[in-house]
A and B are shown apart, each in its own frame.
Chain A
Amino acid sequence: MTLVFPKESLSTFPKHLSPDYRSTVKRSPSKPLIVVPQTLSELTGPVYGHNAVQESDADLTKQHKGEPLGERIIVHGHVLDEDKRPVPDTLVEIWQANACGRYVHNVDQHPAPLDPNFTGAGRTITDKKGYFRFITVKPGAYPWGNHHNAWRPNHIHFSVFGHSFLSRLVTQMYFPGDPLFPLDPIFNSVTDEKARQRMISRFDLENTIPDWALCFRFDIVLRGREATPQDPDKH
């Protein structure tokens, strides 16, 4: 199978400069990007990280002596390519705020407590069907300095590799029905409504564990599709 990485697939990505998200103003390229062919250097990519990953890394509620506070949740889904074929054996890393909306990072000085039983980092390797599953607590919303009374919707950060360095994706998973959606310039940097919906997890009642945890499903579709014939009429 040969995968190709059409550039058109990126059309719903945010623009580098999205001024409502103020930090983009000085951190976006101002000169046109140079169009170049994809070579072996881009069509390959890291197949990596597996040695460091332990099965227990996917359960963020069991990394300390006690259990973290907050709503315990299951977050699961599939990593797929553009043709919806599974991306097996790929590294999925997540990080998030705790239930109070506070990150384990010294730059985060939001006056909400750290939880001694929660770091907020997890990772796993997708199985043969591209499937991943995490257990964590629902992250809280938190304020940030972008504009007056700015709050980020609840989200979990995702980092995924896929089949090549061109399929590399860092994104954020949101939760359904968040009232902060219309107010968040990062979420709305994706201007296409349908594309925004693809960043929102689905409440997954079927996979909820009664008396224990709610469940959210988040399927991730990476760049890359199977090569198609140049001229289908000849076949």
Chain B
Amino acid sequence: MSDITPSQTVGPFFAYGLAPHSRCEWRPGQDKSAYDWKETAGANLQTADASGTKIRIEGSVLDGDGMPINDAMIEIWQADGQGRYAHPRDTRARPNTKFMGFGRSATDKDGVYSFDTIKPGAVPGPNGKPQAPHIVFCIFSRGMLRQIYTRLYFSDEASNTTDPILTLVPQDRRGTLVAHKEMRGELPVYRFDIRVQGENETVFFDI
């Protein structure tokens, strides 16, 4: 029997501590200079040494009525452009030593989050089968007593069809995990809405 510390909700007021420079407007009153606080993790993952395609990820977080969740926190974890993770368990050589692969964005009043990052490469999967490029999403919010995990896949990746995780998802729900690419000038923007509940509910993982 395990005795880990139980999870509790992040609540509505995390932004000034966890995401002070994110999209959420949390500052009370008129004094915008008060209560300044550096951030440990932000929504821009790009580093000067990170090779690969610079991309933007944007989306809304929606509740069971389709209403925007304006107090969610999204955390992402991803490999670099070559598919390597900045973590001791990934022992492969990693030329992009400054690229950490972790981002955090609080949603704004319209429930919108965003990240500027590098498109990850394919990463090793179970039984030596490669996984299609993807980003792990972890979602926290008021009204969520524990985090929920999902994944973002990219609409322009043919390898999605053989991805060992995506193929475990019922076919009619796989689309909820695929972010759609549009070009904004030179910048590829991947749109990824997260529907927490209801019609077209995003697939979440039991891991």
Say yes or no: is B8 at the interface (Cβ < 8 Å to chain A): yes
Question: Which residues of B (60-107) have their CB < 8 Å from a CB of A?
Answer: 63-65, 67, 69, 71, 75, 77, 79, 85-90, 100-102
Mask for B1-40, Cβ within 8 A of A = 1, else 0?
0111111111111111110100001111100001101111
* A130 within 8 A of partner (CB): no
Asked whether A121 is an interface residue with its Cβ less than 8 Å from the other chain, the reply is yes
Find out whether the CB atom of A14 lies under 8 angstroms from the CB atom of B196.
no
* Inter-chain contact B18/A95, CB cutoff 8 Å: yes
In chain B, what residue has the closest Cβ to A192?
B6
Do A28 and B196 touch across chains, with their CB atoms under 8 A apart? yes
Known: A44-B87, A194-B3. Is A106-B14 also a contact (CB below 8 A)?
A: no
B124 within 8 A of A: yes
Main secondary structure on B side of the interface with A: loop
Bitwise, A94-110 to B at CB < 8 A (1) or not (0) is 11010000011111100
Contact of A47 among B5, B87, B205 (CB under 8 A): B87
Q: Are A36 and B7 in touch, CB under 8 angstroms?
A: no
Chain B residues in 8 Å Cβ range of A45: 77, 87
On whether the beta carbons of B197 and A29 are closer than 8 Å, the reply is yes
Is B158 interfacial (CB-CB < 8 Å)?
A: no
B residues in contact with A91, CB < 8 Å? 40
- B37–A44 contact, CB under 8 A? no
29 A-B residue pairings within 8 Å (CB atoms)? A5-B207, A7-B207, A8-B2, A13-B7, A14-B6, A27-B141, A27-B143, A27-B197, A29-B201, A30-B64, A33-B148, A33-B204, A34-B205, A35-B168, A39-B126, A40-B124, A41-B77, A82-B3, A95-B14, A95-B16, A119-B16, A121-B37, A170-B140, A170-B147, A171-B5, A186-B145, A199-B5, A221-B3, A221-B4
- Give the A-B pair count, Cβ closer than 8 A: 264
Give the interface SS of chain A, mostly helix, strand, loop or mixed: loop
- Listed in ascending order, the chain A residues whose CB lies under 8 Å from chain B are 5-16, 18, 21, 23-49, 52-53, 82, 91, 93-95, 97, 103-108, 114, 116, 119-123, 157, 159, 164-166, 168-172, 186-187, 189-190, 194-196, 198-199, 220-223, 225
Query: Does B3 lie within 8 Å of A106, measured CB to CB?
Result: no
Across-interface contacts of A44 in B (CB, < 8 A) = 77, 85-87, 89-90
A104 nearest CB across to chain B (Å):
5
Closest to A160 in B: B5
Q: How large is the interface on B (under 10, 10 to 19, 20 to 34, 35 or more residues)?
A: 35 or more
Query: A232 CA to B79 CA in the complex, in Å?
Result: 35
Q: Which residue of B lies closest to A166 (CB)?
A: B207
B169 interface residue, CB < 8 Å from A? yes
Complex Cα gap A9–B149 (Å): 17
A225: chain B residues at CB < 8 Å are 2
